[in-house]
Amino acid sequence: MEYIDDSEEQRILSDLFDELYYGNDSYAYDNCCDEEDICNPSEGMSFEAIFVPVLYSVAFVVGILGNGLLLGVLFQSRRNWSVTDTFILHLGVADILLLLTLPLWAAQSASEKGWTFYNPLCKITGTLFTINFYCGIFLLACISLDRYLSIVHATQICLVVWLFSLLLSIPDWIFLEVVSDERRGKAECVRNYYKFGQKPSSSLKTAARGLYHAVGFLLPSAVLIFCYSSILWQLRCGTQGLQKQRAFKVIIAVVAVFFICWTPYNITLMVDTIRQNNDSSPCEMNTSLDKALLVTSSLGYLHCSLNPILYAVVDVKIRRQLLNILRSLGCKQRTHKPKCASSFWSELQRG
């Protein structure tokens, strides 16, 4: 753990906490104020200490249960897996691994001491978060590509997704560490761009934000919009059976939930990136924007919890198998084994 004693370096340390690359965020209030008018971080810290633990706890419980049941359903029907079922399996694993990091971020926000799990776990947790954050978004894009191109080698593609996500996490292994901010009175697990000198490279910070916007949202969004728009156009112009009509609703639901969860955060993050270049921003504006970042990023993490609920609502086959699992866990009750059927998602690949 590093303690910064130099007053000048302590003043610019607040920039470090403004790297809202993902959820282990803090607030940078010093950027908006001169030495005579230092922004008070207590309001933001009080909001963070209540909001983050509550929301992350709910997301953790709902997400772990939902994704766990989803994986159980998939393993129960593993003999009839389609290509998309393979992607959904890996998506469920990625969501669970991401959800496992939420209790640590919640503990950091709730604790007066901040991050108390030491530096190695900071690197591991932050890197694990990043890997599965990217992996989850890329797998959603792969599902849309599968619907559009009828992918054959799903397992190999999933392996490429995991490896690419691992490569994108390399900066975390380098810069993530526990840093103590004496003004906030707590230690936090953040990217420390000051570790190689007192002045961080602005290009590194800009590249981090640019990488997130381009690779973590804009590119997957473009893939989702193009593939699903093409599929929907084909469905509307062709002869539609019952399964095709249901597939239409699934596509709308998947795309809508994705953009509802992630668009607010990305818009807010873009505004915050612009704010970083304006040192004269008023404290009230910065405090409000920091809260908005916290709320919208938390909404993005809820996407991991909403995925299994979405599948259960729109997919009759998954819902039927899920109910059978719940009955078997609750009581011994005779259930009729459903007829073997191909994945609901694979209906889009049939003529």
Q: What is the mean pLDDT of residues 11-15?
A: 42
- pLDDT reported for residue 233: 80
| pLDDT higher than 90, residue 25 | no
In the chain, pLDDT over 70 holds for what percent of residues?
A: 71
Amino acid making up residue 306: L
Extract the tokens encoding 187: 């230690």
| pLDDT higher than 50, residue 67 | yes
- pLDDT reported for residue 243: 60
- CATH of 19-349 among 1.10.3720.10, 1.20.1070.10, 1.10.3210.10, 2.40.30.170: 1.20.1070.10
In order, the DSSP letters of 18-35 are G--SSSS-----GGG--T
Compare 72 and 253 and report the one with higher pLDDT: 72
- pLDDT reported for residue 58: 93
Q: How confident is the model at residue 248 (pLDDT cuts 50, 70, 90)?
A: low
From 47-61, 97-111, 248-262, the region with the lowest mean pLDDT: 248-262
| pLDDT higher than 90, residue 335 | no
- pLDDT reported for residue 100: 92
Q: How confident is the model at residue 252 (pLDDT cuts 50, 70, 90)?
A: confident
| pLDDT higher than 50, residue 84 | yes
In order, the DSSP letters of 212-247 are IIIIIIIHHHHHHHHHHHHHHHHHHHS---HHHHHH
Q: How confident is the model at residue 198 (pLDDT cuts 50, 70, 90)?
A: low
Average pLDDT in the chain: 75
Q: What is the mean pLDDT of residues 326-345?
A: 55
Longest dimension (CA), the chain: 74
| pLDDT higher than 60, residue 250 | yes
Highest mean pLDDT among 6-15, 20-29, 202-211, 272-281: 202-211
| pLDDT higher than 50, residue 91 | yes
Extract the tokens encoding 32: 């908006």
| pLDDT higher than 70, residue 27 | no
CA-angle at 88, arms to 83 and 90, nearest 5°: 100
What does the domain layout of the chain look like in residue ranges? 19-349
Q: How confident is the model at residue 201 (pLDDT cuts 50, 70, 90)?
A: low
Do the strands 176-181 and 186-191 form a parallel or antiparallel pair, or are they unpaired?
antiparallel
| pLDDT higher than 60, residue 24 | no
Q: What is the mean pLDDT of residues 144-173?
A: 85
Cβ atoms < 10 Å from Cβ of 271: 12
- pLDDT reported for residue 325: 76
User: Helices marked H in 34-169 — which ranges?
Assistant: 42-76, 83-99, 102-110, 118-149, 154-168
In the chain, pLDDT over 90 holds for what percent of residues?
A: 14
Q: What is the mean pLDDT of residues 32-45?
A: 56
